[in-house]
Homo-oligomer: A and B are copies of this chain.
Amino acid sequence: MATAYDALHAHLRATSLLGSTAALLAWDQETQMPHGAGDRRAEQLAQLAELQHQRMVDARVADWLAACESDPRVQQDADRHANVREWRRDHTRATRLPGRLVAELAEVESKAQQAWASARAKDSFHQFRPWLERMVALQQQKADCLKTSGQARWDALADLYEPGMNAADLRALFAPLRTALVALRDKLRGGARPDDRFARQPIDESKQEAFVRAVLAAMGFDPARGRLDRSAHPFCTRVGADVRLTTRFRPDAVLDALGSTMHEGGHGLYEQGLEDTHFGTPLGEAVSLGIHESQSRLWENHVGRSAAFWRWCLPVAQKQLGTFADATADDLFRAVNVVKPSLIRVEADEATYDLHVMVRFELEQQLIDGQLGVANLPGEWNRLYRDYLGIAVPDDKHGCLQDVHWSCGLFGYFPTYTLGNLYAAQFTAAADKALGGLAALVERGQFATLREWLRRQIHRHGRRHSPAELCRLVTGAPLSPAPFLQHLEQKLAAVYRL
């Protein structure tokens, strides 16, 4: 006879399988779907969201969970114990949400994302405003359903993406970080700003594509279980057993294409590093978005923006691009590390990126708490950009319409980008120590050693440990801004010849 664990496993694995089909619907919407199919797509996504939710709140799940929690054979088995603990977490959350809200959210997320893309293209906040108002109202409802007694709405949402994290802890991490980043920016004014014009010469997109594909292959992204496409906004998603990345190309921005590809490639290696035998269970899922982002930022910044990387990569670039003949590895190392406050988060340098995140962190708390009305968002956005980054926002397209997140219902998500930066630096320092010096491996293109270390230390655990536990296990210390700031200061001193 099947045990409660077996029954629970089969039921929730099938639920995840439905989720993997929903992931294809979402990927296709962003990369392939003709625009006239949007409303039907929203219906398809809403249907699968509702089906998954119904399966999760099925009365039998509560019975099976209770049986597993009192079964010593389950509790003494490390894998099963961890899965049951995480399924309980997912189940508790799901039972707090009415099915109709889940379906409505999925439908509005799909439609609002399409409305956002159109509004952004036309630089029309006016056109997006009713969708954002509806989305904020839905997220407030969602937060009210999810929050525990005394918990703030925003914290209830943030916990979906970074279990255990809340606004107070984030503020404690962000405040010293902001001070240090602003001080660093001022210090760099006294240095020698690199000239990156040579890297902005137009390069044929097919050559750029061959180049980034070569780097992705060197990183060890498995093409038998993954693919790379183009989209307006690079992203990574898993569709069952394969992982799909996107990147983007502009003739004069080959280094951006490389950065996007290595970034999404880092996400992709995490997803490919999860153990397929655990598919459909928490042990087969990424633990948090902050940890996920650490993997993308580690490859994008700690590998891709290092001096050692360019000693390996310059000949690859020269061969694939047919350019950079007169450049040195140091020229490229300096070109990819120019610091300049700018308008667009995804194009920001490493030293100002987190200031973009902090703007959003402030604003979305106010939107969700009801202190800030959607109508006043552009004004507040522009005020904070002046305040944090010292720059004027010329239009909403380069301002509050730049990111897709809020249109997709991702409130409480942005801070995971900064957490990712901090985790990435702390993990890199640990890898450097454990592997006896990363630079020597990277400059020889021996990426497999790092990749396998990350797989062993982080990927294969899935949701076995909390993000905070994982950080301690991998690095021996709790998360701190110090390794990130040390990394930045050390690198930028070299770049700016301070």
Contacts and interface: CB of A to CB of B under 8 A. Distances in A.
Contacts of A241: 36-37, 39-41
Contacts of A279: 40
A256 interface: no
A175 interface: no
A222 B225 CA distance: 33
Interface string A178-203: 00000000000000000000000000
Question: Max chain B CB contacts within 10 Å: which of A17, A40, A41?
Answer: A40
A24 B41 CA distance: 11
Interface string A219-254: 000111111000000000001111000000000000
A25 interface: yes
B36 A225 contact: yes
Contacts of A14: 47
A240 B40 CA distance: 6
Contacts of A48: 21
A17 B37 contact: no
A48 B14 CA distance: 11
A382 B225 CA distance: 38
A43 interface: yes
A47 B44 CA distance: 15
* A-B complex: 6 closest residue pairs judged by Cβ atoms: A36-B224, A37-B242, A40-B240, A40-B241, A36-B225, A37-B241
B20 A225 contact: no
Interface stretch (A26-34, A335-343, A413-421): A26-34
Contact of A37 (B18, B33, B43, B225): B225
Nearest to A279: B40
A126 interface: no
Contact of A35 (B24, B224, B239): B224
Interface centre among A37, A47, A224 (most CB of B within 10 A): A37
A32 B225 CA distance: 11
Contacts of A36: 222, 224-225, 241-242
Contacts of A43: 17, 240
B226 A41 contact: no
